[in-house]
A and B are shown apart, each in its own frame.
Chain A
Amino acid sequence: MPLPSFSLATADGSLHHFPTGRHALLCFVKEDCPTCVLSMPLIQAAAEAFGESIDIWCIGQDAEGNARLAATFALAAPMLDDSSLHVSYRYDLDTVPTIILADAIGDELDRFIGFGRSDWQALFQRLITVTLSPAPVIDWSRYPESRPGCGSKSVEPGIAERLEAEMEGSPIRARRIDVGESDDIFEFMFEQGLTDGLPVVPPTPERVVRMLTGTKRDPQEVVGIVPPNLAPVTVEKIAINAVMAGCKPEYLPVVLAAIEAITTEQFNMHGVLATTLFPTPVIIVNGPIRDRIGMNYRMNVLGQGNRANATIGRAVQLVVRNVGGGRPGEVDRAALGQPGKYTFCFPEFEERSNWESLHVERGFERTDSTVTVYAGGAPNGIIDQLSRGAESLATSYGLALATSGHPKQYGHGEIVVVIPPEHVDTFAKDGWTKDQVRARIQEVTARPARELIRDEFCAEGITLQQAERIGLDTLVPKFRDPKNITFVVAGGEAGKFAAYLGGWVSGPMGSQMTTVKIRE
Chain B
Amino acid sequence: MHDTTWFEINGKPSVFIASTEFTDAAEAQAVALGFPEVRRIFVPHPIQDATDDEMRAKADAIVDLVIEALVD
Chain A residues with a Cβ under 8 A of chain B: 228-230, 270, 274, 325, 327, 329-331, 333, 459
Complex contact B24–A329 (CB within 8 A): yes
Chain B hits for A228, CB < 8 A: 29, 32
> Once bound together, how far apart are the Cα atoms of A331 and B24, in whole Å?
8
Instruction: Please tell me if the beta carbons of A333 and B33 are within 8 angstroms of each other in the complex.
Output: no
**B residues 3-60 in Cβ contact with A at 8 Å:** 21-22, 24-25, 28-29, 32-33, 49
List B contacts of A329 (CB < 8 A): 24
Asked if residues A331 and B33 are in contact (CB atoms below 8 Å), the reply is no
Identify the closest chain A residue to B48 (Cβ): A276
| Chain B, interface SS category | helix
Task: Say how far A33's CB is from chain B's closest CB, in angstroms.
Answer: 54
Selected contact of B25 from candidates A229, A230, A274, A459, CB within 8 Å: A274
- State whether A229 touches B24 (Cβ < 8 A): no
Please indicate the chain A residues that have their CB under 8 angstroms from the CB of B28 in the complex. 325, 327, 330-331
Complex Cα–Cα for A333 and B29 (A): 12
Supply 23 A–B pairs (Cβ within 8 Å), ascending by A.
A228-B29, A228-B32, A229-B29, A229-B32, A229-B33, A230-B2, A270-B2, A274-B25, A325-B28, A325-B32, A327-B28, A329-B24, A330-B24, A330-B25, A330-B28, A330-B29, A331-B25, A331-B28, A331-B29, A333-B21, A333-B22, A333-B25, A459-B49
A518 to B49, CA, bound (A): 43
The 7 A-B residue pairs whose C-beta atoms are closest, nearest first, are: A330-B28, A229-B32, A331-B25, A325-B32, A331-B29, A333-B25, A331-B28
CA A221 – CA B50 in complex, angstroms? Answer: 47
| Interface core residue of B24, B25, B33 (most chain A CB under 10 Å) | B25
Instruction: Name the A residues within 8 Å of B49 (CB-CB).
Output: 459
Nearest Cβ on chain A to B46's Cβ, whole angstroms: 10
Q: Which residues of the other chain, B, contact A325 by a CB distance below 8 angstroms?
A: 28, 32
Residues of chain B contacted by A327 (CB below 8 angstroms): 28
> Complex formed: what's the CA distance from A464 to B21 in Å?
30
Q: Which residues of A contact B32 (CB under 8 A)?
A: 228-229, 325
Q: How far is the CA of A228 from the CA of B57 in the complex (A)?
A: 31
Task: Tell me, in angstroms, the Cα distance from A274 to B32 when the chains sit together.
Answer: 15
A503 to B57, CA, bound (A): 33
B residues near A229, Cβ cutoff 8 Å: 29, 32-33
Q: Kindly provide the distance from the CB of B57 to the nearest chain A CB, expressed in whole angstroms.
A: 20
**In the assembled complex, which residues on chain B have CB atoms less than 8 Å from the CB atom of A330?**
24-25, 28-29
Per the bound structure, the CA–CA distance linking A329 and B33 in Å amounts to: 17
- Beyond A229-B32, A327-B28, A331-B25, list 7 extra A-B contacts (CB 8 Å): A229-B29, A230-B2, A325-B32, A331-B28, A331-B29, A333-B21, A333-B25
Interfacial chain B residues near A459, Cβ < 8 Å: 49
* Minimum Cβ distance to chain A for residue B15 (Å): 19
Of A228, A274, A459, the most chain B CB neighbours within 10 A belong to A228
Collect the chain A residues with CB atoms within 8 Å of residue B21's CB: 333
CA distance A217 to B2 in the complex (A): 31
Q: How far is the CB of A308 from chain B (nearest CB, A)?
A: 32
Residue of B nearest to A274 (CB): B25
Could you tell me the distance in whole angstroms from the C-beta of B2 to the nearest C-beta in chain A? 7
